[in-house]
Amino acid sequence: MSSQNLVGRVAIVTGATSCVGGCTTRRLINMGMIVVGVSRKLPGTKRAGWGRFSQNVQRGFSRLVPRQKDDIVPSQEGQLGKVFFVRGDVTNPKDIRRIIKWTRKKFGHIDVLVNAAGSVQNYDFLYSDQKMLKEMIETRMLGTLLFSRAVILEMKAMKIENGHIIATSGIIGKRDLAVYSGMYLNVQGCVTIMTSAIKDDLENKHIPIKVTDITIPRELVDDSPAEGVEKGYITAADIAQEICDAISQHACSQSNPSNN
């Protein structure tokens, strides 16, 4: 699908240095978008942690180093779009406000929010550390809720009529229960329900902002395992492509109202 309608548009992507968020960030800048990548750990720093899903993402951002104040990492030259990594915690309202304020001051508006923060945290309900369980729930649920609400209010104030909010979640099935803990799957399910509630609320208030839930229907594996792909598993790159397709389709429908 053509990315012409995305050139120059501004997206905030949470969890932007790993897994789905990292793959999405790379694809969006290759499609010409300006991306503000939010992460607790910036690429090119000793504090950046790269999990098993993120080797390809790390290589793509390996030359990035902090060069600005406020923990902001500018993009490499030669990319069609641009990416600016900003340190922030999606569960912290002060961080959310700071990131939105910086984005507005730098680019004037926000067109897209991709909620991708929260790694695959397969914690057991009874035997996992309480702090880890709390972090999983807050990052996936509270982070998605708070960041979505703040960006929607910003879009409404700026009179953005083709804004797009995207969340990533999962489907609970018998196959999933054989791989993931029930706690993790139920948190993912709650994100699906919450995203649907946000969508209904905006529609009832006639606010012209699209809300999309991208579900992860199968076990998420590393970027390119031939064995996993043969078994029908899904990769972070697959989810990122689905996110980018949704963004592109919405942008295209807005520029060609007759296609709606």
> Is the confidence at residue 42, as pLDDT, over 50?
yes
Confidence (pTM):
0.82
Domain that holds residue 172: 4-259
Tally Cβ neighbours within 10 Å of residue 228: 17
CA distance 34 to 86: 13
> Is the confidence at residue 62, as pLDDT, over 90?
no
The enclosing domain of 186 has a CATH number of 3.40.50.720
| pLDDT tier, 228 (very low <50, low <70, confident <90, very high otherwise) | very low
Q: Which amino acid is at 44?
A: G
For the ranges 56-70, 182-196, 199-213, the maximum mean pLDDT occurs at 199-213
Average pLDDT over residues 64-72: 45
Contact 173, 218 (CB under 8 A): no
What are the pLDDT digits (tens) for 114-156?
Answer: 999 985 566 666 766 778 778 888 998 999 999 999 999 999 9
Residues 34, 212, 97, 20: is their CA dihedral positive or negative? negative
For the chain, what is the domain count? 1
Q: Give which of 168, 174, 127 is closest to 147, Cα–Cα.
A: 168
Give pLDDT, residue 77: 45
> Is the confidence at residue 106, as pLDDT, over 60?
yes
Q: Give which of 193, 115, 191, 192 is closest to 152, Cα–Cα.
A: 115
Give pLDDT, residue 218: 61
Give pLDDT, residue 65: 39
What are the pLDDT digits (tens) for 147-196?
Answer: 999 999 999 999 998 899 999 886 554 455 555 666 777 788 889 999 99
For the ranges 13-17, 49-53, 188-192, 198-202, the maximum mean pLDDT occurs at 198-202
Contact 78, 131 (CB under 8 A): no
What are the pLDDT digits (tens) for 76-101?
Answer: 544 567 889 999 999 999 999 999 99
* Mean pLDDT score of the chain: 78
CA distance 29 to 34: 6
Give pLDDT, residue 119: 58
> Length of the chain, please?
260
3-state secondary structure of 221: strand
Give pLDDT, residue 11: 97
Give pLDDT, residue 176: 56
More confident residue, 63 or 157: 157
Q: Give which of 166, 256, 171, 258 is closest to 209, Cα–Cα.
A: 166
Tally Cβ neighbours within 10 Å of residue 64: 21
Give pLDDT, residue 44: 58
